[in-house]
């Protein structure tokens, strides 16, 4: 073959290759949208089981249900991986009110709160004290022990509304939820109330994890979230000079660790069975809603990836695992356990993709990998264009797959549109009706497409992948 003939031959085979991938992606999206199973799985997980806090009966039901469903898919292996998890129980519904006035005329205004995960209870009678409002740890430090001692500290830092990536806004104030009690207790505070991490004005308090770090037991003060509407009310009352007191009562409790499981299914690779690719989400959720967005969506999308590969007749070269991680919300024990066992067994993980940002319209992925790998992955961008998937950036992947990080692995996070995520996150309105079927299915197809391409081309050969012209 002369050089021109060789060039034409290469050009034609490359074009056919690219067309082949475009057709495969088209079929994956079609299967997900017309014959998908993710929404039905989510329906069961949300409506038949419900909130799945680690260590709860519902978490165990979710383990059994998803294992049974994976077994129906005809995968090569399905198994449970033991992991000990913390068990924190909310107890009775919390009560709270703002009290203004003196003994002659006292006005009580009832407000919506919920205990933060990991918090201690108040006494049976509840806790009542004067309130000091701050918007940051710096403001708290400025007040000092003199003004904080014996008070309830009200952290009212709001998520920054002009950040388009709402996760950035979340990251900007999540530390007041996680470490607010720790910082306030060091200055002698008796309790902590935290503005819910929610960009919307509404009446739902949003829970989430908090930690006492190295505080001794007697310094562990009760900590709760207050709805954004009620946070504004409390702030206005304080600003009026009324010097209110705040009352709250919660009966949550921390128990000893209990046995739970990660749920794992695998399609064993046909050419490189010892190269592992993981796709996953977390099976546990908070207890207030049914955890449909966080992270029921990620769970069913990850299950759907393996189902869609099989349905589309794709036989992966590498071993592809779905991992439904336990205990992301208040411990990350499942993610750590999976990585620990993978290391122990010397399993070579080359790729992991997590969906834990809600079941909204997918926009793309963020990647935690080298610049060279990202440049290679970016060559697939045009294949995703018909599905309005355009976001391929370096960034955070996911909490559960984080412990797998090393120099060889590409970690990825599905990035759905994030504008409405924090309307529901960790609150009682995170329910099945908040998830749109098509949006969920588009996410599953987008994840499957990336897994398909990554399996086909591997991490080092990606640069050979041709691009389709727009």
**Closer residue to Zn ion, CB minimum distance, 143 or 299:** 299
Q: How far is the CB of 399 from Zn ion (least distance, A)?
A: 7
Walk across the sheet containing 223-226 and list its strands: 106-110, 95-101, 245-249, 127-134, 152-155, 191-195, 223-226, 113-115
Q: Is 30 in a helix, a strand, or coil? A: helix
Q: How far is the CB of 222 from Zn ion (least distance, A)?
A: 24
Sign of torsion over alpha carbons 183, 187, 192, 196: negative
Q: How far is the CB of 421 from Zn ion (least distance, A)?
A: 10
Q: How far is the CB of 113 from Zn ion (least distance, A)?
A: 22
Q: Which stretch binds Zn ion (CB under 5 A): 104-112, 303-311, 349-357, 439-447?
A: 349-357
Binds Zn ion (CB under 5 A): choice among 266, 294, 311, 441: 294
Instruction: Give the CA distances from residue 46 to residues 234, 299, 389, 445, in Å, rounded to whole numbers and listed in that order.
Output: 34, 11, 27, 21
DSSP 8-state assignment for residue 87: E
Q: Which stretch binds Zn ion (CB under 5 A): 1-9, 228-236, 293-301, 345-353?
A: 293-301
Q: How far is the CB of 449 from Zn ion (least distance, A)?
A: 23
Cα–Cα dist 399/282, whole Å: 9
Q: How far is the CB of 328 from Zn ion (least distance, A)?
A: 6
Q: Is 295 in the site for Zn ion (CB under 5 A)?
A: yes
Per-residue contact track with Zn ion, 148 to 187, x per CB under 5 A?
----------------------------------------
**Closer residue to Zn ion, CB minimum distance, 119 or 330:** 330
**Closer residue to Zn ion, CB minimum distance, 191 or 413:** 413
Does residue 59 contact residue 52 with C-beta atoms inside 8 Å? yes
User: Per-residue DSSP letters for 360-413?
Assistant: SPEEEEEEES-HHHHHHHHTTHHHHGGGT--EEEE----TTTGGG--SSPEEEE
Q: Which of residues 181-200 bind Zn ion (CB under 5 A)?
A: none
| Residues annotated catalytic, as ranges | 328
Per-residue contact track with Zn ion, 253 to 292, x per CB under 5 A?
----------------------------------------
User: Per-residue DSSP letters for 416-436?
Assistant: E--TTHHHHTTSTT-SGGGS-
Q: How many residues bind Zn ion (CB under 5 A)?
A: 3
User: Per-residue DSSP letters for 143-163?
Assistant: HHHHHHTTSEEEE-PPPPTT-
Q: Is 356 in the site for Zn ion (CB under 5 A)?
A: yes
Instruction: Give the CA distances from residue 321 to residues 73, 227, 281, 348, 461, in Å, rounded to whole numbers and listed in that order.
Output: 13, 39, 12, 13, 21
Q: Which stretch binds Zn ion (CB under 5 A): 53-61, 111-119, 256-264, 352-360?
A: 352-360
**Closer residue to Zn ion, CB minimum distance, 28 or 159:** 159
Contact residues for Zn ion (CB under 5 A)? 294-295, 356
């Amino acid at each position: 073959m002369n050089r021109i003939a060789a060039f034409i031959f290469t050009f034609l085979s490359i074009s056919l290759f690219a067309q082949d991938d475009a057709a495969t992606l088209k079929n994956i999206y079609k299967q997900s949208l017309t014959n998908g199973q993710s929404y039905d799985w989510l329906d069961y997980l949300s409506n038949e089981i419900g909130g799945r806090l680690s260590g709860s009966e519902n978490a165990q039901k979710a383990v059994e249900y998803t294992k049974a469903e994976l077994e129906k898919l005809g995968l090569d292996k399905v198994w449970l991986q033991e992991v000990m998890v913390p068990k924190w129980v909310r107890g009775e519904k919390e009560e709270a009110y703002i009290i203004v006035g003196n003994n002659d005329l006292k006005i009580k205004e009832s407000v919506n709160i919920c205990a933060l995960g990991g918090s201690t209870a108040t006494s049976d009678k509840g806790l009542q004290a004067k309130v000091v409002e701050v918007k940051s740890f710096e403001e708290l430090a400025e007040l000092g022990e003199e003004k904080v001692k014996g008070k309830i500290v009200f952290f009212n830092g709001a998520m920054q509304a002009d950040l388009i990536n709402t996760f950035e806004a979340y990251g900007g104030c999540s530390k007041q939820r996680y470490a607010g009690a720790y910082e306030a207790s060091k200055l002698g505070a008796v309790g902590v109330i935290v503005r819910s991490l929610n960009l919307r004005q509404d009446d739902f308090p949003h829970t989430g994890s908090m930690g006492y770090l190295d505080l001794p037991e007697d310094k562990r003060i009760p900590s709760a979230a207050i709805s954004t509407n009620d946070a504004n009310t409390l702030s206005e009352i304080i600003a009026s000079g009324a010097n209110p007191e705040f009352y709250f009562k919660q009966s949550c409790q921390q128990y000893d660790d209990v046995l739970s499981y990660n749920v794992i299914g695998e399609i064993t690779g046909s050419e490189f069975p010892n190269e592992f690719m993981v796709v996953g989400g977390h099976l546990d959720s908070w207890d207030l809603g049914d955890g449909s967005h966080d992270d029921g969506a990620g769970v069913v999308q990850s299950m759907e990836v393996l189902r869609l590969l099989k349905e589309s007749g794709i036989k992966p070269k590498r071993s592809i695992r779905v991992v439904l991680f336990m205990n992301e919300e208040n411990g990350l024990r499942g993610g750590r356990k999976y990585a620990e066992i993978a290391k122990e067994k010397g399993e070579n993980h080359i790729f992991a993709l997590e969906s834990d940002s809600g079941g909204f319209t997918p926009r793309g992925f963020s990647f935690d990998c080298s610049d060279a790998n990202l440049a290679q992955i970016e060559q697939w961008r045009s294949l995703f264009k018909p599905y309005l998937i355009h976001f391929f950036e370096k960034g955070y992947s996911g909490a559960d797959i984080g412990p797998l990080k090393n120099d060889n692995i590409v970690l990825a996070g599905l990035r759905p549109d994030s504008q409405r995520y924090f309307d529901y996150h960790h609150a009682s309105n995170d329910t099945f009706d908040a998830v749109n079927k098509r949006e969920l299915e588009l996410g599953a197809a987008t994840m499957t497409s990336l897994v398909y391409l990554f399996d086909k081309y591997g991490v080092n050969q990606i640069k050979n992948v041709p691009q389709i012209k727009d």
